[in-house]
Amino acid sequence: MKTIEWGGALVAILLAFTILPVNSATAAPPYPGPGVVTGSTTAHDPSVVKTPTGGYLLAATGNNISLKTSTDRTAWRNAGVAFPGGASWTLSYTGGSATLWAPDISYRNGRYYMYYSASTFGSRNSAIFLATSPTGASGTWTHQGTIISTTSSSTYNAIDPNLIVDGSGAWWLSFGSFWTGIKLISLNSTTGLRSGTTLHSIAQRTGGSTAIEAPFIVKRGAYYYLWVSFDTCCQGASSTYRIMVGRSTSITGPYADRNGTVMTSGGGTQVLAGHDSIHGPGHQAVIADVDGDILFYHYYDNAGTARLGINKIAYDASAWPFVY
């Protein structure tokens, strides 16, 4: 499909129903371009929360976590960084760098929660931390502690966190990148910190690549949908990231794709991949908004700059998501 702005939603839905969702082993269908965004449109690993006043707060990878705001989901402006004084507790994982990765932001219990990670590229010397804020504004974030960490001898990697509250109100954190894939741990809903020691494995690549990361779980109807990114990020216009999904009736899995392949055996149904001047779309986040589910992600333009991508999500007759 050609790029269609929000006003062309009905046309996009009708066109999308003519496209069969595909599994990772099949040829990709044509995809819509991102919806129109203006203002400060650079972003990497975006996560977005709807604020109590109806606006939007975005957190992204950057020095001390980049923040942006919007009143309408289209025009975005820079809003500083979460930790203007730095985050000294992360430096042993970042090699002294101020760059913090893949924040996951949400609003619960009357305050903002942000899980984020610290590491260096290709390393398993990594950790996930929690910060909270009463307003979400720059400089108001308080370090609450370490959730989980890994070392070079670990078989998985403690980056790319995502908080999910299940149907019974229990808190969980999914995370993971490469190696043995995506994991899930239980959290204490009062503190937001880890509860217990159980580690669930919920997705893993098989075969010649271990490239799976950036989990994001949402519950819609009877299903928990596990969104992940396959393949290579962070190579500018050469990036091969693509967005995949599977689903389960249980938060702990098993998650399977449209063809029934479980995600712990490499399963995943492709929802969005590179096309035209959109390169390597991935590190997705999903929110429910007044006009339906919204997919946020980053992609690279032809110049290799990471841009904010936004599309609407709809579900076909079999309850599988597609973007328009």
Euclidean distance between CA atoms 302 and 88, whole angstroms: 36
Q: Is 182 annotated as a binding residue?
A: no
Q: Is 231 annotated as a binding residue?
A: no
Which candidate in 104, 213, 231, 257 is catalytic? 213
pLDDT top residue among 26 and 241:
241
Q: Is 83 annotated as a binding residue?
A: no
Q: Is 122 annotated as a binding residue?
A: yes
5 flagged as catalytic:
no
Residue 141: per-residue pLDDT: 98
- The H or E element that residue 94 is part of is helix 91-94
Which candidate in 45, 231, 257, 293 is catalytic? 45
CA angle 243/238/29 to nearest 5° reads 40
What's the pLDDT tens digit per position in 117-156? Answer: 999 999 999 999 999 999 999 999 999 999 999 999 999 9
Is residue 11 scored above 70 in pLDDT?
no
What's the pLDDT tens digit per position in 263-291? Answer: 999 999 999 999 999 999 999 999 999 99
Determine the length of the chain: 324
Q: Is 162 annotated as a binding residue?
A: no
95-103 mean pLDDT: 98
Residue 29: per-residue pLDDT: 63
Is residue 159 scored above 50 in pLDDT?
yes
Is residue 202 scored above 90 in pLDDT?
yes
Report all structural domains of the chain as residue ranges with CATH numbers, in order of start. Answer: 6-323 (2.115.10.20)
Token pair 């009736």: residue: 249
How far, in whole angstroms, is CA 128 from its chain's centroid?
15
What's the pLDDT tens digit per position in 209-256? Answer: 999 999 999 999 999 999 999 999 999 999 999 999 999 999 999 999
Q: Is 159 annotated as a binding residue?
A: yes
Q: Is 179 annotated as a binding residue?
A: yes
Asked if 315 and 324 touch (Cβ cutoff 8 Å), the reply is no
Is residue 239 exposed (0-12), middle (13-18) or buried (19+ Cβ within 10 Å)? Answer: buried
Measure CA of the first residue to CA of the last residue in the chain; give whole Å: 9
Instruction: Give, in order, the Cα–Cα distances in Å from 273 to each of 31, 269, 314.
Output: 8, 11, 17
Residue 30: per-residue pLDDT: 82
104 flagged as catalytic:
no
Cis peptide before 30 (omega within 30 of 0): no
CA angle 87/93/97 to nearest 5° reads 60
